Homo-oligomer: A and B are copies of this chain.
Amino acid sequence: MNGDDWVGVDAAGKPWVCASGLRQSPINVPPTHALEHRGSTIPLKHQTTWSYPAIVSNGSNVEVINNGHAIQVEWLSPYAADVEIAVPAQYGNKTTITAVLGMGDNDPVSTVRATPLQFHFHSNSEHLVVGKYYPLEMHIVHKITDLPACAAAGGCFSVTGVLFELADGGDNPLLKAIWAAMPMREGAINYLPAGAEIHLEDLLPPANARDYVTYEGSLTTPPCTEGLLWHVMLKAQKISHAQWNKYKKAVALKDCEAAAVANETVPSAASPSPSATVHHRHHHRRLLEEEAPVNPNDYTCKVVAYGANYRSSQKLYGRAVKIGRAP
């Protein structure tokens, strides 16, 4: 759950850097006044810009996926979003997507385009802000291929994080279509109904209040690849109690019993009494990995731990965290 114990290799046999990396995500975001006192401000002309047109469903082109770890939204149609990340005007073959963090205020600038691939949610938030959590965090994952080094690597990544705070009022209307289509069972995919729209840009703070912190970090799940440019929006969106509870149930660790084998008595060396009852329990979210395919109707599942699909905060190891202040 933490990352300290995530040990493995990627598809190419390269060891994950989760436990060894010094530029891991998420982090505990320092107070903004501390950042500004250090002069760590990204000037306006070096700031990332986000422009997301509405994602409009035709009934079969927008998927809401329960992958057992998170709820993720993907689209099968091209998406004309325009996210622009600053790089030095004279960028070379070794310029990285995080170069903006090292640019001087007067350095001439060019931009590269970042294309959103999917967005998903974590609960709790993965990033903390001054030691505190938010109930939910949305991650919009972008790929960049414009830079030579990114093209050579098959793409660089940049993630934009949006925090949600619990509100006592009604549901956040911007989440309603996604929440209505949210599959409660691992491995299930629902299509957003025809005509439903996702206004991703409205889930970010308004452009004139889009303060963000930015730093070099990693994927928050294995292989924990580093070299990502992170953005975390400082103004939180709202989520209702009902919306948050539904999300937690969807990604909950579930304790499932197959009706036909429940309460079967088997001898057990660990509980030597011949009448010991052993429940045959299955973690629903692990069915895909460990079990032969079964009819989900054969199981009754009980939530044993609400969704906690977040990684623990990682150390900064001296990394720069900078702030982009809206105009």
How many copies altogether?
A: 2
Does A93 sit within 8 A of B, measured CB to CB?
no
Quick one: which of A125-161 are within 8 Å of B by CB? 128-135
Q: Nearest Cβ in chain B — how far from A315, in angstroms?
A: 7
State the CA gap A272–B167 with chains docked (Å): 47
B residues in contact with A320, CB < 8 Å = none
Does A107 sit within 8 A of B, measured CB to CB?
no
A interface residues, tally (CB under 8 Å) = 63
- Chain B residue with the shortest CB-CB distance to A290: B279
**Ranked 5 nearest A-B pairs via Cβ:** A131-B165, A260-B269, A258-B270, A305-B305, A133-B133
A–B Cβ pairs within 8 angstroms, 18 of them: A1-B248, A4-B245, A28-B167, A28-B168, A129-B132, A131-B135, A131-B167, A132-B134, A132-B165, A168-B316, A245-B312, A260-B268, A269-B298, A270-B294, A271-B292, A273-B292, A277-B290, A281-B283
Interface residues in chain A, defined as those with a beta carbon under 8 Å from any beta carbon in chain B: 1-2, 4, 28, 30, 124, 128-135, 165-168, 236, 238, 241, 244-245, 248, 252-253, 255, 258-261, 264, 266, 268-273, 276-283, 290-292, 294-295, 298-299, 303-306, 308, 312-313, 315-316
